[in-house]
Amino acid sequence: MRFDVVTLFPDFVRQCAAVGVVGRAQQRELLQVETWNPRDYATDNYRTVDGRTCGGGPGMVMLIDPLRAALKAMREAAAEPVHVIYLSPQGARLTQGRVEALAKLPRIGLLCGRYEGVDERLLAHEVDEELSIGDYVLSGGELGAAVIIDAVGRLQEGALNDAQSAQQDSFSDGLLDCPHYAKPVRHALGDVPEVLLSGDHAAIRRWRLKQALGRTWLRRPDLLVQRALDKESRALLEEFRREYAQSERERLANDAAEQ
């Protein structure tokens, strides 16, 4: 798959995509990242890409024409239609479900705004989808674009090895991930849970599922509301809650005894 990023900071986006799993996917030609700088498409001597906000007030808006010319060049360099995404806090929240759907597209354009944003008329005519990476304000869309390239890029066939398999990701089944441990088994900071050393693969699978369910219940209950649990999961979550309630009672009793 190919990403085409329209940005005033092409080096930054390229460097974000050059490391780790996604950098390797580019080397293996599973993934291509190209950049288009609107400044290269400005026609005046100053290479102007921004203008004063109509209606007054502080701040600048990215001009239609340099962006439109950059997008035109980008689309003309494509055999297939390009699905163009604009990154902004006004967009729909990016989720793993959306990431998985985007991973099936052959070509994605990412439009990165700076200043107060992009002229609304350009967005209306050129953008297929507006996405937000979270409820906070960045100084530009580039980090959002890098997030999409990373999350989508790592799902390309062959990008992950077996050990990194996306099947085991948190969210791949709508739950948070279970805890992970490595040797040493005994350590001053604590011991590895006994079941993980038992070699009983069925018991280990159940323990991991129970931890994933329990942590999701504790930390992101909103994720459980959206999801119907099967019979085994309901039983494991019930077990987790009982154990959790018991450990809370013990903790409170200990605190009281120390008073």
Instruction: Check residue 141 for interaction with ligand 4GX (CB under 6 A).
Output: yes
Nearer to ligand 4GX, 7 or 216 (CB): 7
Catalytic residue among 24, 107, 114, 154: 154
**Is there a catalytic annotation at residue 169?**
yes
Among 38, 144, 153, 214, binds ligand 4GX (CB under 6 A): 144
Instruction: Check residue 117 for interaction with ligand 4GX (CB under 6 A).
Output: yes
**Hunting for tokens 């369910």 — which residue is that?**
213
Q: Considering the complex, what minimum distance in angstroms separates the CB of residue 23 from ligand 4GX?
A: 22
Q: Are 35 and 10 in contact (CB under 8 A)?
A: yes
184: cis peptide before it, omega within 30°? Answer: yes
CA 44 to chain centre: 37
Label residue 25 exposed, middle or buried (CB < 10 Å: 0-12, 13-18, 19+). buried
Catalytic residue among 11, 116, 129, 243: 116
**Amino acid letter, residue 106:** P
Instruction: Check residue 132 for interaction with ligand 4GX (CB under 6 A).
Output: yes
Q: What is the rounded CA–CA span in Å between residue 67 and residue 39?
A: 8
Instruction: Check residue 87 for interaction with ligand 4GX (CB under 6 A).
Output: yes
Neighbours of 59 (CB within 10 A): 10
Instruction: Check residue 96 for interaction with ligand 4GX (CB under 6 A).
Output: no
Instruction: Check residue 140 for interaction with ligand 4GX (CB under 6 A).
Output: yes
Catalytic residue among 169, 215, 239, 241: 169
Q: What is the rounded CA–CA span in Å between residue 170 and residue 239?
A: 21
Q: For residue 55, say whether it is annotated as part of any ligand binding site.
A: no
**Hunting for tokens 């090895």 — which residue is that?**
161
Q: Are 227 and 253 in contact (CB under 8 A)?
A: no
Stretch that binds ligand 4GX, among 26-34, 50-58, 131-139, 216-224 (CB under 6 A): 131-139
**Is there a catalytic annotation at residue 66?**
no
Active-site amino acid positions:
89, 116, 154, 169
Binding-site ranges for ligand 4GX (CB under 6 A) = 87-90, 113, 116-117, 132-134, 136-138, 140-141, 144
